Structure 1
Amino acid sequence: MIRTVAYLAAAALASAAAPATAYWEYGHETIAKIGYANASPRARAEVRRLLAHSDLLGTPECKATTIEGASTWADCVKPLKGADGTSRFGYAYTWHFQDVNICAPFSLTEACKDGNCVSAQIERDVKTLRDRHAPMKDRVQALVFLIHFTGDLHQPLHAGEKGDKGGNDVKATYGRYGPPRLNLHSIWDGYLAERAITTGPSLVRRYPAPVRAKLAAGSVTDWSRESWQVARDQTYASALKGDPCAPTPPRVTLDDATIERLVPVARLEVERGGLRLAKLLDRALG
């Protein structure tokens, strides 16, 4: 599915009107910092060593020398063009999400055919990082993609949708705020993510081993199913007042009570993303 126009519109809205940076910055950076804080010392050292070679990416416009910069690199490079005027990273556009229908049984078969989806790319990146004979540039790029895509997988509307470009086509009101371009995707990317991350104690910390084991359990496919289920049972069910597969009205409203209920849901997704990133970094580099 083509999301480019909707995505850029959402990004423009967020940069112009959001109270602070949106998910594709703030959320990704938070997940990356949680992942780094909970990875093994050896994995952290390897992350630092690889990012010290981030100049090999050839993207001086998009710095990836820190874990925070690495977390947003994959979005930053989207508009970059080569000397011939074509997109340098257009091939990676579909790697940021997977269009799995929330109103059908869960399956990655169609959404991930040919490996062009976020979960398949996460596995690919881990494999590349584990190959110590792979070119340094390939390993650095695999690392920055892995950090970003793990965050993407834990934004529910990157994992499940209902033919609406991951909620980009669903106009929405957030509390009392509802400008024409605001949509369900940008709410989960920005306003709700920011509210969740800044509510309560800092999410960036070293978690106890039992918590890490519990939240990071399972495979990438398991995480995909779980995030898809959050999209169905929380994101769409809340927007459509109970039935996630009911016809979508011209505009949905997340009232204050609904927002309060969704804050811990969104907060848990960020925690899961961070601790699972730590697990993947250990698996690939530890």
Structure 2
Amino acid sequence: MISKSLPLALLPLLPQVSAWGTLGHDTVAFIAQSFISNSTAAFAQGILNDTSSAFLANVATWADSYRYTTEGAFSAPLHYIDALDSPPESCNVDYDRDCPEEGCIVSAIANYTTRLQTTNLSATERQKALKWVIHFLGDIHQPLHVENLEIGGNGINVTFDGTATNLHHIWDSNMAEKLIGGYSLEDARTWAGELVQEIETGKWKNQSAGWLTGLDVRNGVDSAMVWATDANSYVCTTVIPQGEAGVEGKELDGAYYDAAIPVIQLQIAKAGYRLAAWLDAIVEAEKGVEHGHGGGGQKRKEFELEDWMVEARRVRRAFGWNCGAEGHRH
């Protein structure tokens, strides 16, 4: 586990995981591919220059690799929003309180949705915008990407299947990979097929329409806040229902895993279904949307390709992952 006193200069050198891990992000993308319209598929394939059967999944984790480049370092704080709430007593997200001037996942979704619709941008910038939208729609559904406590759970030591790790990591990767048995592209395709079936004819058939409540591509901030609030609620009910003390230092592959897995499956399904609807809405929207359009009260949304200094706490959150994490890197 990373020491909380580790010099900030060393943090970017540490191994890292992405929200949901490769398995989760690829599964979200495959679910979206199952629901998007033919015109949206053609739109995305054209921008991505990819007509393969995994055209969205192939770029689903690009944003995590890109943020480790010199050019993309500015985007690290855009993968989360630090909800300054008090779980498990109270879970809530407030845009004005929790999204700083350098941006957060909510403002990033709004910004890159607008940039994707801006036809006078270069092909490279529109492609990046689409990749970010695909990735951030996944990230915002991971409950610990919508929580400030202990750097989104990175500072809470746990074990899983006998291996020392942290709470954030098991929500990103360990629990989903235990359920599915791997994290390959084909594992994700298979899992997506199972979740799509549950959406279309199974246990979520009657509730999936409700997942699109509040979706308005003209107002990315308000739409993303619906998703952020939804994900954040599980911090109180499922992630740490008994507080930090209920998980700190404990083995979580038993009853905790059994309670968490239905939420992970549900959130992955929601993310894919909402991503499909969001991309469809982008394609259907009128052309020529003004750069920066959106609801009132939005903070800085234009994230050009430049570096800026971020406060120490947010750098720690962006790079403060488990330096002793076992196994593969996501």
Give me the TM-score of the superposition, normalised by structure 2. 0.67
Q: What's the C-alpha RMSD, in Å, of the aligned pairs? A: 3.1
Residue of 226, 230, 235 corresponding to 2:230: 226
Partner residue, 2:212: 216
- Percentage of pairs with the same residue: 26
Check 1:10–1:115 CA distance in 2 against 1; reply closer, same or farther (3 A cut): closer
Counterpart residue type for residue 36 of structure 2 = A
| Matches for 1:44-193 after TM superposition, within 5 Å | 44-52=41-49, 66-80=55-69, 87-103=70-86, 105-114=92-101, 116-162=103-149, 164-174=150-160, 176-179=161-164, 182-193=165-176
Residue of 250, 253, 272 corresponding to 1:252: 250
Check 1:249–1:186 CA distance in 2 against 1; reply closer, same or farther (3 A cut): closer
Check 1:37–1:110 CA distance in 2 against 1; reply closer, same or farther (3 A cut): same
Q: CA deviation at 1:253?
A: 3.3
Q: CA deviation at 1:121?
A: 0.7
Partner residue, 2:239: 235
| Counterpart contact for 2:20–2:138, Cα < 8 Å | no
Secondary structure (helix, strand or coil) at the match of 1:113 reads: coil
Counterpart residue type for residue 160 of structure 1 = E
Counterpart residue type for residue 177 of structure 1 = G
Q: CA deviation at 1:9?
A: 3.8
Q: In the aligned structure 2, how far is the partner of 1:6 from the partner of 1:170?
A: 20
Secondary structure (helix, strand or coil) at the match of 1:173 reads: strand
Q: Unaligned 5+ residue runs, structure 2?
A: 182-190, 215-222, 285-330
Counterpart residue type for residue 203 of structure 1 = L
Partner residue, 2:302: none
Check 1:97–1:230 CA distance in 2 against 1; reply closer, same or farther (3 A cut): same
Query: Is 2:281 the counterpart of 1:283?
Result: yes
Q: CA deviation at 1:72?
A: 0.6
| Counterpart contact for 2:78–2:105, Cα < 8 Å | yes
Check 1:36–1:205 CA distance in 2 against 1; reply closer, same or farther (3 A cut): farther
Partner residue, 1:57: none
Q: In the aligned structure 1, how far is the partner of 2:193 from the partner of 2:72?
A: 37
Q: Unaligned 5+ residue runs, structure 1?
A: 15-21, 54-64, 81-86
Q: CA deviation at 1:194?
A: 2.4
Counterpart residue type for residue 168 of structure 1 = N
| Counterpart contact for 2:30–2:57, Cα < 8 Å | yes
Q: Relative contact order, CA 8 A, sep 6+: which one is greater? A: 2
Q: In the aligned structure 2, how far is the partner of 1:94 from the partner of 1:115?
A: 7
Question: What's the CA shift string for 1:8-51, capped at 9, x where partnerless?
Answer: 4454xx9xxxxxxx832111010011112111111111000000
Q: CA deviation at 1:128?
A: 1.4
Partner residue, 1:194: 177
Question: What's the CA shift string for 1:238-258, capped at 9, x where partnerless?
Answer: xxxx2x3x5577523324122
Query: Is 2:179 the counterpart of 1:203?
Result: no
Q: In the aligned structure 2, how far is the partner of 1:257 from the partner of 1:138?
A: 45
Query: Is 2:31 the counterpart of 1:34?
Result: yes
Q: In the aligned structure 2, how far is the partner of 1:210 from the partner of 1:250?
A: 37
Q: In the aligned structure 1, how far is the partner of 2:42 from the partner of 2:278?
A: 15
| Counterpart contact for 1:35–1:275, Cα < 8 Å | yes
Counterpart residue type for residue 195 of structure 2 = L
Give me the TM-score of the superposition, normalised by structure 1. 0.77
| Counterpart contact for 1:156–1:227, Cα < 8 Å | yes
Check 1:197–1:99 CA distance in 2 against 1; reply closer, same or farther (3 A cut): farther
Secondary structure (helix, strand or coil) at the match of 2:250 reads: strand
